[in-house]
Amino acid sequence: MMSWLWLTLGGAILPFTLLQTTIPLAAWLAPLLLLRFSRTVKARWAVPALALVGALSTYASFRDVVSTDQMLVAAVGGAVLTPIPYAIDRLLAGRLTGIARTLVFPMADTALVFLFSTGDFGSTGHVAGTQVGNLPLLQSAAVGGQWIIAFLIAWAAAVANEVWQRRTTVGAGRTLLVFGAVLGAVLALGGARVALDPPNAPTVRITGLAPNRASSDALMSAKLAPGPRSAAERAEVRERYFMPLLDDLVSRTERAARAGAPIVVWAEASAYEFVEDKDAVVERARSVARTEGIYLQIGTVWLLPVQQAPFVEIRAIMFDPTGAIVWDYLKATEALSDGNVRGPGIMPTVDTPYGRLATVICFDASFPALVRQAGRAGVDILLVPSSDWAPVTDALNQQATLRAVENGVSMVRPVRQGTSLAVDHQGRVLGQDASWYRTDPVTTEHTLTVAVPIRGVKTPYALFFGDVLGWLSIAGLLAAAAVVVLRRRVARTATPDGPADDDEPKRQHAGVLTAT
């Protein structure tokens, strides 16, 4: 009965480790309890039970994020993926000895999320994001990326279960000592970095602007159908919906510049225009940048005259103080069903008196390999104009924070329909603005103004290691599987009539428990 209690508790905690309403401690407790369950019941019960927990947890974490149909698809994905690392642990760990036995689960878990992150969803909702408030632990991402945090969390679950199962043995104590030493070193070195080597470069004032909510909501409620329009139809839509947004953003940009911000960044999808008429928006922004003598990055949506996806181009266009276009970056990823054209994923950079700047757009920051370009290019400040919605804004901010630490950059993320955030290269919060959620009529401007260090740092993750821990986890699993297969062959040769069933009641060696 206790096994099912662990499943119930772990399943109840698991949703708080995923996409929204995350709790840092839950990320450590959920795998510990679920692994305890997996190791103490027969495999034919453990796998379907974990699949059900994965489905329910994923469904819950996607509430209010996507449609009901999409939630069901996500739940199926959760049902398929959740049992995998536990099943691999069940197959391999009991046939290994010592510390190697505790490494199977973290390698399986890390390999799974690493491979998943290479797909269309990136690493959004990755468990490492739950730990961004733990600055000492967060610093490890500058070496091994978010994968090192994920590995440590899963390893803690395996070590705790080893001690739980074999607490009276010398081996369990030795394993706990090794893990404690590793985790202690990570926290000590991270804490020393935070305390002794904080960012000390001069700062630059950066203002991030999200559009006026009333005008933005009016545009969204219009639900403009895709497809070609006549010049007269475009003019009518522009006058009613597009111009109020643009007028407000231009006015606030001018005020921010005159208040001392040499860099102004608009959130993703701040300004809309039909692609046929985009030059009017570009020229107006160019004029503001030149007149005010600032670096101005605008977030635009160009509506294409087509009726089938992709319907839009989502761009970040940077102007220098002369009004010249420094870059015209096309969003490289597509979140859910946004219907945008995907860009090539080549990050632009520019050297300025305020450091080297670069940009990606919103969901792009959930792809570590894409953003690693910033670290390898020596970027100092990464601009991440974004457009969220309430259930996911924290998860996306967590991912952007991880990218900042991994690549040694400060990050400024002005957000439409979410919480704007800025952090330094160690993950300290420089400023945030959640005014989008205020409903009082006084709140018409959603502005984040922060002082950002103009110099970043080189990180081992960006320059050398990258996602090597993900690949090492895959290689480690293959090696562990090879060892197990070899040992089974040797054992069969020695005792050809011996039992081979994983659920055989006699199989309690190496700390693998059977049903009680």
Residue 460 lies in a domain: no
Token look-up 């081992």 returns: 460
Q: Do residues 53 and 190 share a domain?
A: yes
- Parent domain of 139: 2-197+465-511
Residue 218 lies in a domain: yes
pLDDT in tens, 29-80: 999 999 999 999 999 999 999 999 999 999 998 888 878 888 888 899 999 9
Q: Do residues 164 and 215 share a domain?
A: no
Q: Do residues 276 and 353 share a domain?
A: yes
The CATH number of the domain where 355 resides is what? 3.60.110.10
Domain final residue, candidates 433, 455, 477: 455
Q: Do residues 132 and 218 share a domain?
A: no
Give 264's Cβ-side CA count (13 Å radius): 29
Distance separating alpha carbons of residues 258 and 293, to the nearest angstrom: 10
Q: Residue 490 is encoded by which pair of tokens?
A: 């040797």
Cis peptide before 310 (omega within 30 of 0): yes
Q: Do residues 187 and 208 share a domain?
A: no
Residue 373 lies in a domain: yes
Percent of the chain predicted with pLDDT > 70: 94
Residue 472 lies in a domain: yes
Q: Do residues 30 and 157 share a domain?
A: yes
Q: Do residues 262 and 188 share a domain?
A: no
Minimum mean pLDDT among 186-200, 210-224, 246-260, 446-460: which range? 210-224
User: What total of structural domains would you count in the chain?
Assistant: 2
pTM: predicted TM-score of the whole model, two decimal places: 0.92
> 3-class SS at 345?
coil
Quick one: average pLDDT of 203-208?
A: 98
Q: Residue 468 is encoded by which pair of tokens?
A: 């090597």
Residue 516 lies in a domain: no
User: CB of 37 within 8 A of CB of 3?
Assistant: yes
Q: Is the pLDDT of residue 312 over 50?
A: yes
Q: Do residues 217 and 360 share a domain?
A: yes
Distance separating alpha carbons of residues 144 and 464, to the nearest angstrom: 10
Domain final residue, candidates 455, 473, 503: 455
pLDDT in tens, 385-440: 999 988 899 999 999 999 999 999 999 999 999 999 999 999 999 999 999 887 66
DSSP 444: -
| 210 to 47, 251, 273, 388, 445: CA distances (angstroms) | 46, 13, 17, 11, 8
Q: Do residues 39 and 174 share a domain?
A: yes
Q: Do residues 161 and 305 share a domain?
A: no
Residue (of 151, 125, 129, 27) closest to 406 by Cα position? 129
Q: Do residues 339 and 417 share a domain?
A: yes
- 442: confidence class by pLDDT, cuts 50, 70, 90: low
Residue 339 lies in a domain: yes
Residue 443 lies in a domain: yes
Domain final residue, candidates 425, 455, 485: 455
Confidence (pLDDT) at 444: 67
Angle at 287 between CA 286 and CA 288, to 5 degrees: 95
Distance separating alpha carbons of residues 211 and 123, to the nearest angstrom: 28
Q: Do residues 44 and 69 share a domain?
A: yes
Residue 69 lies in a domain: yes
Residue (of 254, 270, 23, 4) closest to 132 by Cα position? 23
